[in-house]
Amino acid sequence: MARRAAAKAEKTKAAPRDGASPKSLIWVQGLLCGGLATLATPTALLVGVLFLPPLIASVVDHQPGKPIARSMALFGFCGIVSPVLNLWAAGHTIAGASRLATDLANLMQAWGMAAAGWLLAELAPIAVRSILEALASSRASGLRAERARYEAEWGFPPAAEEP
């Protein structure tokens, strides 16, 4: 009985991850964005302009977990901290937000950080794979040398095909 209940609970727990959760999350995100746009319109305007590359990436990145978008968001967020603080220090106005959003330096800082996040997300797996392949090759060489020793000592035939 207890086992059946646990299985049911597991099923109900897994179900949102499969279908309902992303939609709910989108709704929550939309609600937060809507609330931010209503309650802090200057901040929303500034963030919307400076955070545009990560937002676009979140749309075009179809990988599970959206690792590119996530990386661009993390680094892009670093790039908008300073303009947002400046906006809040300057009185948090629409004019101030527009001025900061159109400031080329702010744009380059925010978008550059997003670009750096994208670049790192693309290069890091390649680098890790190279390291893993080198380790595997080294291990295979060691094993082949050991096998050759056995062949010489016991007269075993060589391996049929090279790994």
Nearer to other proteins, 91 or 163 (CB): 163
Residue 51 as a binder of other proteins (CB under 8 A): the answer is no
Name which of 49, 46, 45, 67 is nearest 57 in CA terms: 67
Q: How far is CA 16 from CA 6, 50, 66, 75, 84, in A?
A: 17, 32, 18, 29, 34
Interface region with other proteins, contact rule CB under 8 A, candidates 26-34, 36-44, 54-62, 63-71: 63-71
Residue 99 as a binder of other proteins (CB under 8 A): the answer is no
Identified binder of other proteins from the candidate list 42, 45, 61, 75, rule CB under 8 A: 75
For residues 9 and 3, give the distance between their C-alpha atoms in angstroms, rounded to a whole number: 10
Helix (H) or strand (E) holding 68: helix 67-89
Residue 65 as a binder of other proteins (CB under 8 A): the answer is yes
CB of 11 to other proteins, least distance (A): 27
| Angle (deg, nearest 10), helices 67-89 and 52-60 | 160
Nearer to other proteins, 59 or 143 (CB): 143
Residue 152 as a binder of other proteins (CB under 8 A): the answer is yes
